Structure 1
Amino acid sequence: MIESLKIEYRDHFPELWSGRLQLRKLKPSDQGELHRIMNEPSVQRYISFSRETTGLPGRLFGHFMESYHTLSALHFALILRGSCRFIGLCSFQHWQENEGRAALGYMLSPDCWNQGLATEAVRTVMTFGFEQMRLNEITARCDPANLASIQVLHKCGFTEELLSHEGIVNEQGRLHRLSRYVRHPLGKASSNSDTLLHK
């Protein structure tokens, strides 16, 4: 099967809208705020990027630009409507078009937490994923201590898989435990795709 959607999105990246947000492709003008947000200590606690990547604005932005070429991931910049301010990202990572699988990830500037914006962004990309990308499964990994992100997942219909604790090794060489969540439209079995989340 030809991966036709990846070809289409490479040429014409989707643009989505919700009540308070515009979701679009990253632009060079977003680079400064992207770097600032990803280097916030409260954000870095829950993301999987190394400091070698997040510490250099050009390298960080280049990472996302490369993803737009390969389309192994779809990274949507979150823009507040009205102010046109960049406030974070909401992404489908590990996208397997032929299998209909992708993993969800998101992060917001800390001053935008607790306003329902993460839930709004996730619902918007989730609807797009099921209806336009023809996904039959969306997964996510979340730190059990990140209660705000867990709440967002529950609001959006994700369920935790039992005995699903996984982990990554952080920069200090310690195993970081994560829980795995899944969302699907028709009750199909879950996959092994995953990513990190942040409210």
Structure 2
Amino acid sequence: MTRHKLIFPQSFPTIHTERLILKQATIEDAEDMHIYLSNETVCRYMGIDAHESIKDTKGEIKWYDNIFKEQTGIRWGISLKNNPTIIGSCGFLNLEKQHYRTEIGYELHHDHWRKGIMKEAITAVLRYGFQEMNLNRIEAIIDPANTSSVQLLEKIHFVQEGLLREYELGQKGFDDVYMYSILKRDYEKSY
């Protein structure tokens, strides 16, 4: 089977959608990002503690920079077209180039929940991953209690593959997670 090579961008890509700009987050965005990353409700299912200090949030931005430099992921800051403030992020992590596979992660400021913003952002990131990077599989690992995320992924054609028992060490012990995925062929049929 002949495959085109996986393509990782040389410079950080900016993505425009109908309402959003997905762009590189910088240290200058730390205060805006700290507002939602310090919120327990936002961080509940992220596998991280809510940020206690701006230093924590700057560390998160440095992690975004590092995964891009190391070519193991891309994390876009999400802003509305009419306001440059970053209100969330979405992107790839744990990129496995030899297998054309990555994981998707995302979070959004609670003031912007239930407005279709994350659906719009994830759809744009999927398009970038499959069309520009030539990925074959994008996975999402979801806490079963995160019903909003489960509904969102199913709405955008991710398939639940099963329950991974005690897959991650969380704040209260080992947590079960759902494994979801979307394949390039699924994407091409659905979009």
Give the whole-Å Cα distance in 2 for the aligned partners of 1:73 and 1:169: 22
Alignment check: 8 A CA contact 1:35 1:60 kept: no
Q: Output the amino acid matched with 1:27.
A: T
* SS of equivalent residue, structure 1 residue 161: strand
Percent identical across equivalent pairs? 25
Greater strand fraction, Structure 1 or Structure 2:
2
**Counterpart position of 2:15:** 16
Give the whole-Å Cα distance in 1 for the aligned partners of 2:43 and 2:87: 15
Q: Which has the higher contact order (CA 8 A, sep 6+)?
A: 1
Q: Output the amino acid matched with 2:72.
A: S
- Mapping of residues 1-199 of structure 1, within 5 Å: 5-6=7-8, 9=9, 11-50=10-49, 55=53, 56=55, 57-172=57-172, 174-186=173-185
Alignment check: 8 A CA contact 1:165 1:180 kept: no
RMSD between aligned residues: 2.1
**Counterpart position of 1:191:** none
- Per-residue CA deviation, residues 25-57 of structure 1 (Å, 9 max, x unaligned), is 112221112222111110121112356x76423
Q: After alignment, is 136-145 or 53-62 more displaced?
A: 53-62
Give the whole-Å Cα distance in 1 for the aligned partners of 2:84 and 2:146: 28
Alignment check: 8 A CA contact 2:104 2:140 kept: yes
- Per-residue CA deviation, residues 100-123 of structure 1 (Å, 9 max, x unaligned), is 111111100000000000111110
Q: After alignment, is 23-32 or 156-165 more displaced?
A: 156-165
Question: How far has the Cα of 1:178 moved from its partner?
Answer: 1.0
* SS of equivalent residue, structure 2 residue 35: helix
Matched pairs, number: 181
Give the whole-Å Cα distance in 2 for the aligned partners of 1:12 and 1:145: 37
TM-score of the superposition, structure 1-length normalised? Answer: 0.82
Question: How far has the Cα of 1:140 moved from its partner?
Answer: 0.5
Give the whole-Å Cα distance in 2 for the aligned partners of 1:44 and 1:118: 15
Question: How far has the Cα of 1:134 moved from its partner?
Answer: 0.4
TM-score of the superposition, structure 2-length normalised? Answer: 0.86
Question: How far has the Cα of 1:165 moved from its partner?
Answer: 4.4
- Per-residue CA deviation, residues 142-169 of structure 1 (Å, 9 max, x unaligned), is 1111111111101110010134445211
